[in-house]
Copies of this chain bind each other. A is one copy, B any other.
Amino acid sequence: MNDQAVPQKASSFAAFARSAGPQIDAALDACTRLGDGCPTKLREAMRHSLLAPGKRIRPMLVLLAAKSCGGTCDAAIPAACAVEMIHAYSLIHDDLPALDNDDLRRGRPTCHKAFDEATAILAGDALLTLAFETLAQGVQPPATASCCAALAEAAGPCGMVGGQVDDLESERKGEGGRGKAAIGHLESIHRRKTGAMIRVSLRLGALVAGADAEQLAALDTYGTCLGLTFQITDDLLDVRSTEVAMGKRVGKDAAHGKLTFPSVLGVDESVRRARELTTAAHDALASFGPEANELRALAQYVLERNH
């Protein structure tokens, strides 16, 4: 790795995360206290999943994009909460018996295990809906409408949900193999399944800060590279990690014959690809000043993470 192209150490992202993490968690807690009308069981199921310890990568991307475009973290907090709610709902539904059928998530029982399947389905629905309420009420005009539209587009049938449907389908068909077609298909799935929410996190932060078209485009390129790196390192961790470190079942991708970067490209080529994408992520930020240093450090963190 070229130290000049990648000047920010992953540790400087960790420093930001230590201060921003508690701020995000406090805001998520406040958003889900929910008054009269919300049944206790529903609120507890939502909070069980939303407030479980997590990396909060997506909300941090919102805050860092806002900062990089000259905005404040405070103004971006509602959008940060909204993307984490979408992320949490997607995990609840993905874990259901009809989908990935997972019992463990972030080291805790999944929502349908801790509660029941009906409650988990409805808690996911409630978090998805609350994300738009939080965004629509918390983002100041004139960015409100564009933020709602962008989040819905990224999370919807042509974005995250579409990617999840194709991912399940490819798993069912046992699509594996190597070659250009396989890698194209794999990248198309992840560009939507995980990439769309990463890109829109950056976009929301930028919109809140009143970014111009050039800034939006640069962050979109950065997000595309970061999203794929994130997925590649996730796949690599599944191959390498132990269950204890990940807090969820691992090695199951291979057991399910799932299409992954290591299974298509091999481990070494996957590592090379992740490094190349990290460099491209840094290059995309060339026009930003030191206010984007944490975004630079985050790219390095995603590349080097071990959990």
What residues of B have a CB within 8 angstroms of the CB of A38 in the complex? 157-158, 162
Roughly how many angstroms separate A200 CA and B220 CA in the complex, as a whole number?
Answer: 35
What residues of B have a CB within 8 angstroms of the CB of A139 in the complex? 145
Q: Could you say which of B37, B116, B126, B145 contacts A144, with CB atoms under 8 Å apart?
A: B145
Q: Interface size (A, Cβ < 8 Å)?
A: 56
Closest Cβ–Cβ distance, residue A173 to chain B (whole Å): 12
Tell yes or no: A254 within 8 A of B by CB: no
Asked if residues A162 and B192 are in contact (CB atoms below 8 Å), the reply is no
Tell yes or no: A187 within 8 A of B by CB: no
Asked if residues B42 and A165 are in contact (CB atoms below 8 Å), the reply is yes
Tell yes or no: A296 within 8 A of B by CB: no
Asked if residues B34 and A158 are in contact (CB atoms below 8 Å), the reply is yes
Please report A residues at the B interface, Cβ cutoff 8 Å.
34-39, 41-43, 46, 89, 93, 96, 98-99, 116-119, 121-122, 124-126, 128-130, 132-133, 135-137, 139, 141-142, 144-146, 148-149, 151-153, 155-159, 161-162, 164-166, 168-169, 192
Number of identical monomers bound together in the oligomeric complex: 2
Asked if residues A157 and B42 are in contact (CB atoms below 8 Å), the reply is yes
Roughly how many angstroms separate A158 CA and B164 CA in the complex, as a whole number?
Answer: 28
Instruction: Taking A42-B161, A42-B165 as given, write out 9 further A-B residue pairs in contact, using a Cβ cutoff of 8 Å, ordered by the A residue number.
Output: A34-B157, A36-B158, A39-B166, A42-B157, A98-B121, A99-B121, A136-B146, A144-B144, A144-B148
Asked if residues B129 and A157 are in contact (CB atoms below 8 Å), the reply is yes
Asked if residues B122 and A164 are in contact (CB atoms below 8 Å), the reply is yes
Can you list 30 A-B pairs with a CB-CB distance of less than 8 A? Answer: A35-B158, A36-B158, A37-B157, A37-B159, A38-B157, A38-B158, A39-B162, A39-B166, A42-B161, A42-B162, A42-B165, A43-B157, A46-B157, A93-B121, A96-B121, A98-B121, A122-B164, A122-B165, A125-B125, A128-B128, A129-B155, A129-B156, A133-B149, A133-B153, A136-B152, A137-B149, A144-B144, A145-B145, A145-B148, A148-B148
